[in-house]
Chain A
């Protein structure tokens, strides 16, 4: 089976700073991957360069066996929640409908089919009761569900989520994780930037430990080990993460 995502020797430079260097990764279809690493490791940059938001200095990215720009409609990107103004005068339904814009293009209007997909996506994240609410009235967890539903409405094969579990309630976190696990079981692929080292092993199959370079990539049990963490987070990782990664 062709890989969901293949990144070969990706290097990204911003100004004169090297953000990512020589990143190679091969994600097989149906896997649920966590991207972890210290602050400033380039996790967000990595996600952004995967969807062409930041130009790569060198390297190649292919999605399902083809270059990203030809397979763009197979990728759904969920930016960090706090990058948008949640006071914007728009309803939940309209935000989720944006998930269809990629397929609709500049001029086409949503069809009945699109509307059905949008309602279905809203139902999946359990927001049907606030479908027509303005987004300004939502809680943090509900906001994240909206972003999630927008990605679902894209009906993509590869989902890229940037810090989806920051500042949301545990109920939403569990619901979204279960949703992600069901999706990957059904053959979709998800790559998630994750900050909580404690839950990596329970939520994800694979992990990519990033710190400008790719420190380690593989099944979580192989990646979450003391030597790897020491090399990514420095010597103080033990105090920062009192979890016994050795025992894994």
Chain B
């Protein structure tokens, strides 16, 4: 009974996370910023570590706040580097993500040595461990996810318009900067939430792979978003199912393998080929 209950919670959790990252991944892909998810995920790590170090709690929400803080600092730093140097966006993101990731690794190793704990903290954040998801956290994820989906639906036409032609949208009075800020904030929250299930190293795949798969089947942005959410959710479900049946297989990599397989099959089989 208890096991079934845990599995239910975990399944609902990965469905929410998968759907959310699938939908947001569509915008990441359409804006041609495949590295953005990676940058944010890596940038969130030192914040999580610092939150652990200073508060000495394993409280999910505290860690989440830490991750969001350092993630936004990382993104701000990327914009600063682009504005103040001649570096392009991908180079700036590459530099920032490795610096933050390095700091995060150092901090987490220190914590692991200091704390007398059985939990392999480092592995939890690098590869994810959704089995520890609690009911309360699930509700939080659901509420956050619902707000974001609502936000995307409400501003759908402007978000798509800015992703397609930001210069034109600017000329008719929409500020694309606001639009991208909104998307990036949602992305940041979704990524920090998702870190728990798939980990820092694989988070960007959960964003990109469902969107890539969906793009192969349709030429409509709406259908693409719906399909990507479905692919994200089903990768989560199948990944969790596999990892529960084969004991010892970590959830994160299992989810990512399924998501990538769906993307690969779509690339090979879908009708919209070049």
Contacts and interface: CB of A to CB of B under 8 A. Distances in A.
Contacts of B173: 72-73, 102
Given A90-B160, A106-B155, A85 B171 contact: no
A88 B164 contact: yes
Interface stretch (B55-63, B100-108, B217-225): B217-225
A101 B169 contact: yes
B42 interface: no
A77 B168 contact: yes
Interface string A140-161: 0000000000100010000000
Interface string A97-119: 11001101011010000000000
B166 to A, nearest CB: 9
A134 B224 CA distance: 13
B172 A102 contact: yes
A7 B255 CA distance: 58
A52 B174 CA distance: 11
A149 to B, nearest CB: 13
Contacts of B170: 51-53
Given A90-B221, A91-B220, A101-B158, A53 B171 contact: yes
B154 interface: yes
A79 interface: yes
B167 interface: yes
B161 interface: yes
B219 A89 contact: yes
A101 B167 contact: no
B171 A51 contact: yes
Contacts of B168: 77, 79, 98, 150
Nearest to A109: B157
A72 B167 contact: no
Interface in B132-179: 154-155, 157-158, 160-161, 163-165, 167-174
A23 interface: no
A89 B221 contact: yes
A85 B32 contact: yes
Contacts of A102: 172-174
Interface string B46-62: 00000000000000000
A134 B271 CA distance: 14
- Chain A interface, >50% SS class: mixed
Nearest to A106: B158
A77 B165 CA distance: 12
Contacts of B218: 89
Contact of A52 (B30, B155, B171, B220): B171
B220 A90 contact: yes
A101 B157 contact: yes
Contacts of B32: 85
A107 B155 CA distance: 6
A84 B173 CA distance: 18
Contacts of A104: 157
Given A53-B171, A101-B157, A95 B164 contact: yes
Interface in B176-216: 215
A84 B224 CA distance: 19
Contact of A101 (B30, B161, B215, B221): B161
Contacts of B157: 97-98, 101, 104, 109
A95 B215 CA distance: 18
B164 A101 contact: no
A101 B172 contact: yes
Contacts of A107: 154-155
Contacts of B215: 89
A109 B174 CA distance: 15
Contacts of A90: 160, 164, 219-221
A115 B30 CA distance: 25
B164 A84 contact: yes
A109 B158 CA distance: 11
Interface of A: 48, 51-53, 72-73, 75, 77, 79, 83-85, 88-91, 94-95, 97-98, 101-102, 104, 106-107, 109, 134, 136, 150, 154
15 contacts: A48-B167, A52-B171, A79-B165, A79-B171, A83-B167, A84-B165, A85-B32, A88-B30, A88-B163, A89-B218, A89-B221, A90-B221, A98-B172, A101-B161, A106-B158
Given A89-B215, A90-B160, 16 more contacts: A52-B171, A83-B165, A83-B167, A88-B163, A89-B30, A89-B221, A90-B219, A90-B221, A91-B219, A98-B157, A98-B165, A98-B168, A98-B169, A106-B174, A107-B154, A107-B155
Nearest 8 CB-CB pairings of A with B: A102-B172, A134-B219, A77-B171, A51-B171, A89-B219, A84-B165, A79-B167, A88-B164
